[in-house]
Chain A
Amino acid sequence: MTELFNTALTPWEWTQLISFYGIAALMIVAALMVVTLRNIFHSALGLAAVALGAAAIYLMLDAEFLAFVQILVYVGAVVTLIAFMVMLTQRASHGKLVRQSNDQKTISFIVVLSLFALLIWKIPTTVWNTTVSTGNLADAKTLGTAFLKEYIMPFEVISIVLLVALIGAIVLARREPK
């Protein structure tokens, strides 16, 4: 961190730094909204904000394909599905008097805080095996080739899993025939 600011930064590097920390702060605020807000629909909007922030982070990490898949899948499908579900079950979660958290608040906070303390202590002190990027970065073409060569088996399995999940969801949500 200290050696970062000793060297003179170009305007492009300043832009990267400022946008990273800005997006990170927005994502953390939105994530806190997801877990603390009483109105569950506002939580779903917070989840959409976190997904968009993650897409921006992917763009900063030169993963353009993943960024647009993230927007399509999360903001387009998952958050829409959750919003529908909130509206369908509104009578159960509606009203100011309905408690939104259970009795495990203190113990959960202690567990989460200890996990956080352990990792925040270990992450900066570990030496990561990073490489400086030279040559072509992985793009959509690289990913597509890898999916159809090295990862063909997991790719087929994940397709079957998605198909089974879709059929299972339809069967579960279907009204029982009289």
Chain B
Amino acid sequence: MIVPLAHFLILSLIIFCIGLYGALTRRNAVGILMSVELMLNAANINLVAFSRFVSPQSGTGQIFAVFVMALAAASVAVGLAIVICIYRNHRTIAADKIDLMKW
């Protein structure tokens, strides 16, 4: 691999930062979920890059990436079920309008 490890890490860092910004600023609950998916993807790129460059034979990083993918799928399923439940009861999915459990 001619591309150095640091460049994969920097790509992952940029995507993580964009995802974090989206998760902090989006009003739409579905938009927040998409930003979280971006951050999980960035973490996965990190894991696979380290797996390739540090221990290419064992593939441990790839195994953890599979676990992260399974958890991402579970979180998006539950998150979207919650969003549809809130939409049915409140007719809105803006995260700053849903303050039922705030003091």
Contact = CB atoms under 8 A, between A and B. Distances in A.
Contact of B77 (A58, A66, A169): A169
Interface string A91-129: 111000001111011001101100110011001100011
Given A35-B26, A92-B94, A158-B70, A81 B2 contact: no
Interface of A: 1, 4, 9, 13, 16-17, 20, 24, 27-28, 31-32, 34-35, 40, 43-44, 47, 50-51, 54, 57-58, 60-63, 65-66, 69-70, 73-74, 77-78, 81-82, 85-86, 88-89, 91-93, 99-102, 104-105, 108-109, 111-112, 115-116, 119-120, 123-124, 128-131, 133, 135-139, 142-143, 146-147, 151, 154, 158, 161-162, 165-166, 168-173, 175
A47 B58 contact: no
Does more than half of chain B's interface fall in helix, strand or loop, or is it mixed?
A: helix
Contacts of B31: 35, 40, 43, 100
Contacts of B85: 172-173
Main secondary structure of the interface of A (DSSP, over half): helix
B24 A104 contact: yes
Contact of A28 (B2, B15, B52): B15
B52 A89 contact: no
A18 B72 CA distance: 30
Nearest to B2: A13
Contact of A35 (B25, B30, B66, B71): B25
Contacts of A78: 37, 72-73, 76
A82 B30 contact: yes
A92 B91 contact: yes
6 contacts: A57-B45, A61-B48, A61-B49, A102-B95, A142-B59, A143-B66
Given A27-B15, A82-B76, 20 more contacts: A16-B2, A27-B11, A28-B11, A34-B38, A47-B37, A50-B41, A54-B44, A54-B45, A63-B59, A78-B73, A85-B83, A86-B30, A91-B91, A105-B25, A108-B24, A123-B13, A130-B5, A136-B57, A138-B57, A162-B74
